[in-house]
Each structure stands twice: as C-alpha cells, then as structure tokens.
Amino acid sequence: MRILSLRSDSSPWIKNHMVRGLMSLMQGSLLAKAVGIASLPIITRIYSVESIGILSTINSLVLILLPLVTLQYTAAIPISRSAQTAAATAILSIVFALSITAGIFGTLLIFPMGKLLTSAMAPAEPFLWLVPIFAFIAAANEACVSWLVRAKQYSPIARSQMLQSGTGEGVKIASGIGGFASGGLLLGQLAFQMAGALSALYYAKQSWPTRTDRVRDPRFLKIVAAKFLDMPKIRVPAQFAMMFAIQAPVLFAAWFYSTKDAALVGMASTALSIPFMLVGQAARRVYYGEIASLGPSKPEGIKQVTYLFMTRLFALSMPAAIVIYFLSEPLFEVVFGSEWREAGQFASLMSFYLAFQFTASPLLDIFSVYRRQSTLLVIHLQRAVLTAASFGVSVWLKLGLANAILIFSSALCLHYFFTALRIHLFIQSRCEEYEYNK
C-alpha cells in the first residue's frame, strides 16, 4: 500500500526535481540511441557480420577493463561532500586510468596475445592494441559525466550523448561507404569515444572549482585516495564481476564459436538496449544523484525515491519484454537483413532477464550511498558465478549457442528477482533503524 501511495504523498522535490532530471537525461539518451539504432540497418548492410563481430569483441573487452583502470574512484565523485574532494577523486580517476592503460598498451606491444586466443577469436587479434586506448578515453568520459551528475547537470550529459552518437555513427557509415572493413567500424568507435569525452570535459569545466590549490597537493590526493579506499578494494571487483557477466555472452560466443556468432549476440544485446539498458543507465544516474544528495541520514526520502523508481521501471519493462519475445525474430530480419534473423532469436531469449535487470540494476547504488560495498560485491559475484556456470555447463554438455543463452537468461531472471527483494529489505531495515534511534 505504501508503494501505491507514492504519487499522492511524495514531496514536490521528489515529484518535480527528480522527474525533470530523469526526463531530461532520458530524452537525450533516447535521441542518442535513436541515431545509433537508425544507423544499424545501414551498417549491417555495408559491413560484414564478421567485421561487426570484431567490434563487438573489442567493445566487450573495453567494458570489462573499464572498472579496473579507474579503480572506481569515479563512483566517489557524486558522493563527495566538498567540491575540492570531488575534484581530487576525478583527478585520481584520470591518473590511475592513464597509468594502467599505458601499462596494458606496452604489454600488448611487447607480448602479442595471439598464442593465448582460440582460433575462433583470431580475427580480433590484430586490433587488441586498441582496447587500452578505448578504455582510457571511456574512463575520462566516465569521470566527467560523474562530475556532471554530482552537479545535477543532466541536460549537458544528454547533449554530450547526442553528439557522441551522431559523430560515431556518422564516421562508421562514411568509412563503410568508403570501402573500409573492420577498420572503419573501429575508427567510428574511436570517434564515438572522443566526441563523448571531449564534450563531457567541456561541460564539466564550467562547474569546476575556481580554487584548485588543494587538488594539486599530492598530500591531499593521498588523503582523498585513502578516504575512498573501499572503492578499489570492494567496488572494483564488484564492478568487474558485473561487467564480466554483462559481456560474457559476446565473449563466450567469440571464444567458443566464432566472431560471427559474437556479432549476432552483440546485435541482440544492442537492440535490447533501446527499451532496457539505455533508459536504465539514465535512471541509474538520476537515482544515484538524488539519493547521494539526500545522504544516508534520510532513509525515508531514499525509500520514497527507491520505491518510485522500482515501480516505474518495472511497469516500463514488462510490456517491452513481451513485445520483444514474440516479435524480435521477424523484426530483426526485416530491419537488419536475413543474416540477422538468428540475432532476433537470441534477443527473444534474453528479453525477460533484461526486464528484471532493468528494474533492479539502477537501484544497486543505494549500497554505495550507505557505503555497503561488500553487499555490492556479493551481488555482482553471484551474477558472475551464475553466468560462468551457465556457459560452463553449456560447453560441457556441448549445447548450441541458443540453448546456452536460454540457460543463462533463466538463471539471471532469478538473480535479479532476489536482488530487488534484497534492496527492499535493506531500505526497510534502514528506516526501522532510523526510527528506533530517534
């Protein structure tokens, strides 16, 4: 009953400020993704399936690497109470990202990875040196976006995303028409990363603190790094486990089947990002910004925001999952071409687990606000173990890729259902504890 009454008794701040921020970011995100989706029917016709599979494989490796290179100090930016501390965490993120990606780049140049790859993944080997470059640019973008989230500048984030998408897709199409193969897609991805990072940096500089003397002091940076030490100690393995689980289907297909199969799985995931991942990422940024500004001392406000997001996200996700389940195969064939019908089958199999993920995943940042990084670690490790076990069993039983994805999707439906229940019980206990200590 409490959840159903949120519309009538929630404060004007929750109903207006939060919703305006969410809608601004969602609109920009939707427009940015619309550009990407509109370009897909063109890209799938001017590039081979294998070329798209190489890009999917490279992107998956970048996303898995990203939590490691920033040491997750980007997550500390929105919850830093002072501008000087937030600026210091942003600088720490960039410095760590530059150092780690430079080390990886040097390692790849000295020790080629070809002998460590399976024959199915061999087509991606000549492009692995791009992974640390893309990871550094993505880390810089993440730091700038986190700064904008802290400042609640959601409109600049939306504009940055639109510029990023338009630039990247434009370069991919132009390169494809010009006769480039996999290199054209990777050049477009570089343009995508650069446009996002540079535009986010431009907007972030406008709210950067005027006094930066403390930020330049190595002693202050060490103090800030120690203050948020739980980020690299606990949040890094948690985020790494989460990204591994998200990208596992693409890497599993590339490693054990072929880069073509990786492209099919990657296309299914990309198409599903329209109703699920895209809006979920926007919701997560707004949700984190709002509950971080409330702080752990206001559990009732956090409870209202959490339940408002949970109910709205679930109401959005289920109709979309039903439509995707029944219509994805013919839609993929019509929109992307006959070669991509199997990707529609994979999208159908993944639709319901993504609906549960869409509801629960944006709300996980409640544990960051309460500095319960260990809880996040357990949740993400649980998903990583379920993912590895699902695909491990599939390989052991020599199942086809479709059956492997079905097992994986069923396991994650259960995982996210119990994750949502865990969030509900956690915020209830925080409210009860607050009332008891009054």
Mean pLDDT across 265-274: 79
Task: Identify the three-state secondary structure at position 211.
Answer: coil
Position 193 pLDDT exceeds 80? yes
Rounded to an integer, the average pLDDT of 90-102 is 93
Return the structure tokens found at 13. 């701040």
Share of the chain above pLDDT 70, in %: 89
- Confidence category of residue 115, pLDDT binned at 50, 70, 90: low
User: Is the pLDDT confidence value at 6 over 60?
Assistant: no
Give residue 8's pLDDT: 41
412 pLDDT more than 70: yes
Distance of CA 417 to the CA centre of its chain: 20
pLDDT band at 136 (very low <50, low <70, confident <90, very high): very high
Confidence category of residue 194, pLDDT binned at 50, 70, 90: very high
Name, in order, each residue with C-beta under 8 angstroms of 120's C-beta and a sequence gap of 6 or more: 254, 255, 256, 257, 258, 259
- Residue 312's pLDDT is 85
d(C-alpha 3, C-alpha 263), whole Å: 41
Residue 5: predicted pLDDT: 39
Least confident interval from 113-117, 154-158, 385-389: 113-117
Q: How far is CA 173 from the centre of its chain?
A: 24
Whole-model pTM above 0.85?
Answer: no
Tally of structural domains, the chain: 1
Lowest mean pLDDT among 161-165, 277-281, 387-391, 397-401: 277-281
Q: Looking at the domain assignment, is residue 199 inside a domain?
A: yes
What pLDDT, on a 0 to 100 scale, did the predictor assign at position 94?
A: 92
Residue 109, burial from CB neighbour count under 10 angstroms (0-12, 13-18, 19+)? exposed
Least trusted range by pLDDT, from 102-106, 335-339, 410-414: 335-339
Integer Cα distance of 238 and 245 in angstroms: 11
Which residue has 């150092």 as its token pair?
99
pLDDT of residue 45: 86
Compute the mean pLDDT over every residue in the chain, rounded to the nearest whole number. Answer: 83
Q: Contact at 8 Å (CB) between 72 and 236?
A: yes
Whether 362 is in a domain gets the answer yes
- Measured over the CA atoms of residue 282, residue 372, residue 318 and residue 262, the dihedral's sign is positive
Which residues form the domain of 175?
Answer: 6-436
Residue 174 lies in a domain: yes
Residue 352 pLDDT > 60: yes
Q: b/e for 115-125, b at 16 or more Cβ within 10 A?
A: eebeebbebbb
AA identity, residue 328: S
Mean pLDDT of 178-200: 87
Structure-block tokens of residue 249: 């289907």
Residue 354 lies inside a defined structural domain of this protein? yes
Which whole number is the average pLDDT over 84-110?
Answer: 90
pLDDT exceeds 70 at position 12: no
Task: With respect to residue 38, please indicate whether it lies within any of the assigned structural domains.
Answer: yes
Establish if 352 belongs to a structural domain: yes
Pair 328, 275: CB distance under 8 Å: no
For residue 24, what pLDDT is reported? 67
CB 90 within 8 A of CB 143: yes
Structure tokens at 384: 């990583």
Query: 99 vs 321, which has greater pLDDT?
Result: 99
Residue 1 lies in a domain: no
**What whole-number percentage of the chain has pLDDT above 90?**
18
**Tens of pLDDT, residues 26-85:** 677 777 777 877 888 888 888 888 888 888 888 889 999 998 999 988 988 888 888 888
**Look-up of token digits 């294998």:** 50
- Helix (H) / strand (E) element for 437: namely none
Instruction: Report the sign of the C-alpha dihedral through residues 415, 416, 419, 420, in that order.
Output: negative
Contact 118, 45 (CB under 8 A): no
CB-based burial label for 435 (10 Å; 0-12, 13-18, 19+):
exposed
Nearest alpha carbon to residue 403 among 388, 416, 393, 414: 393
Contact 271, 36 (CB under 8 A): no
Judge whether 370 lies within some domain.
Answer: yes
